[in-house]
Amino acid sequence: MLRVSQLSCGYGNVIAVNKLSFTVRPGEIFGLIGANGAGKSATILALAGLIDVIGGQVELEGQDITHLPTHQRVNAGIALVPEGRRVFADLTVIENLIVGATRMDKPRLDAGCERVFATFPRLAERRDQLAGLLSGGEQQMLAIARALMAEPSVLLIDELSLGLMPIVVDECYRVLETLRMEQLAIVLVEQSTERVQQVANQVSVLETGRVVWQGTGEQAARDSSIVEAYLGLK
């Protein structure tokens, strides 16, 4: 379980997120939405240990990881699917997966590759292809697969559907449902409010770093006017 309590984070002296709290249990998806600059990606980066936590606490399975360096967070069970995918373009698909397998010996590495190839058959077909030659959708699949190679208990996903064709987004969300059933805890930052409403157990809306609306995905879907108002859609 990931518990975030009164989290404040930012870049140097600039506070991007102020006193954000939420809990994600195994088999749950927590959705974070908001307009550009609201603090969504800053939250993900802080949870991954990539920007400074200014205040508050982050706990994973009861362990305080607030100020752990990034590599120790990975070892503790947190993996990141970054915005923009950021695959290693000059490495093959299989080499990208190996990069993600930071804690695996050869038998576990082979088993891990087979698991992600079963989840993403298209990647299996392209295992020896350079990642830079994949389509945008295939690169997103690879970014997710690479994160899964770390065998995380918590998956952080920043802008899952950004720049992808709807049919590819559908496929990625089917994978998300599978991961939920496998009892991963997922923190999802997303541009598509409709998608978040459909899949998230809990949703928070950020505006200039503060939570301005919080509830279940079902509540967000029923009361979408509130969410849309904060996102500047109405």
> pLDDT tens per residue, the chain (234 residues)?
999 999 999 988 889 999 999 999 999 999 999 888 899 999 999 999 999 899 999 999 999 999 999 999 999 999 999 987 899 999 999 999 998 887 777 888 888 899 999 999 999 999 999 999 999 999 999 999 999 999 999 999 998 888 888 888 999 899 999 999 999 999 999 877 888 888 999 999 999 999 999 999 888 888 766 666 666 554
Residues 134/142, Cβ–Cβ less than 8 Å: yes
Domains of the chain, start order: 2-88+152-230 (3.40.50.300)
Q: What is the pLDDT of residue 228?
A: 67
Q: pTM to 2 decimals?
A: 0.91
Q: What is the pLDDT of residue 121?
A: 92
- Residue that the structure tokens 């990931």 belong to: 2
Q: What is the pLDDT of residue 81?
A: 95
